[in-house]
Amino acid sequence: NAGVMQNPRHLVRRRGQEARLRCSPMKGHSHVYWYRQLPEEGLKFMVYLQKENIIDESGMPKERFSAEFPKEGPSILRIQQVVRGDSAAYFCASSPQGTSSGANVLTFGAGSRLTVL
Amino acid sequence: AQTVTQSQPEMSVQEAETVTLSCTYDTSESDYYLFWYKQPPSRQMILVIRQEAYKQQNATENRFSVNFQKAAKSFSLKISDSQLGDAAMYFCAFLTNSGAGSYQLTFGKGTKLSVIP
């Protein structure tokens, strides 16, 4: 079991460019979560998706950020027109079911570090 | 709003000794879950231990145990017989109901643990 796979591990973009971060959940997991970690901070929730559905995007910035989890393929976190403040580590996690019971513990990927020049 | 506070930005422990990392949280909910995650330099988020709030017995996983004081909203992590591989950032996290159809993990800012040979 390869675990949660994220790529790229490191991404450098200039201001105004687009960043695309990909996440393949663990085999058998149909729920994906994206978290952002700013320097010297803990992780902060961004969005929760199931296949083809956004369940909770209450942590997503209103502009420039979007996420999808298509029927086939990885989940994508897309950041348009990046700014320096977007520089952070972006973590994806997956679970076999939703976390409502707390029993379905999230498995995290190793993160993607975005640097905006 | 749910908050998680880790009051120790950095801690150090001698190899083979015991160290306790502090965590307090604030919530109005009565049923919830608490977690400790470890983040080594590789940045991978690794689940260390989990506690269900309805369980009075403190969770234990090998050398890791918690002291869960529900009334005080305190959830400290004790690491016994510390090893060099324990050196990492440790994050306390709290599973909350976002009210938007999902549950979210809320993280503290972390405690950086150094292990001295």
Q: Euclidean distance between the first and final Cα of chain B, in Å?
A: 41
Q: What is the pLDDT of residue B90?
A: 97
For the cut 90, the answer to whether the pLDDT of residue B98 exceeds it is: no
Q: What is the pLDDT of residue B18?
A: 98
Three-class SS state of A100: helix
Contacts of B105 in chain A (CB under 8 A): 35, 43, 45, 99, 106
Which of B88 and A58 is assigned the larger pLDDT?
A: B88
d(CA B43, CA A20) in angstroms, rounded, equals: 20
Q: What is the pLDDT of residue B27?
A: 85
Q: Provide the residue-wise pLDDT of chain A in tens; the chain has 117 residues.
A: 568 999 999 999 999 999 999 999 998 888 899 999 998 888 999 999 998 899 999 899 989 999 999 999 999 999 999 999 999 999 999 988 655 555 567 889 999 999 999
Q: Is A84 exposed, middle or buried (0-12, 13-18, 19+ CB in 10 A)?
A: exposed
Cβ atoms B23, B4 nearer than 8 A: yes
For the cut 90, the answer to whether the pLDDT of residue B102 exceeds it is: no
Three-class SS state of B86: helix
d(CA A81, CA A79) in angstroms, rounded, equals: 7
For the cut 90, the answer to whether the pLDDT of residue B101 exceeds it is: no
* Segment 5-64 of chain B within 8 Å of chain A by CB: 32-33, 35, 37, 42-47, 50, 52
Q: What is the pLDDT of residue A7?
A: 96
Cβ atoms A60, A68 nearer than 8 A: no
d(CA B101, nearest CA chain A) in Å: 7
The residue among A48, A92, A50 whose CA lies nearest residue A70 is A50
Q: Is B64 exposed, middle or buried (0-12, 13-18, 19+ CB in 10 A)?
A: middle
- Interval B1-60: pLDDT, tens: 678 999 999 999 999 999 999 999 998 887 788 999 999 988 889 999 999 888 889 999
B103 touching A, CB under 8 A? yes
Q: What is the pLDDT of residue A96?
A: 80
- Among the partner-chain residues A42, A58, A106, the one whose CB lies closest to the CB of B108 is A42
Please provide the DSSP assignment of A65-98 as one string. Answer: EEEE--SSS-EEEEE-S--GGG-EEEEEEEESS-
Contacts of A32 in chain B (CB under 8 A): none
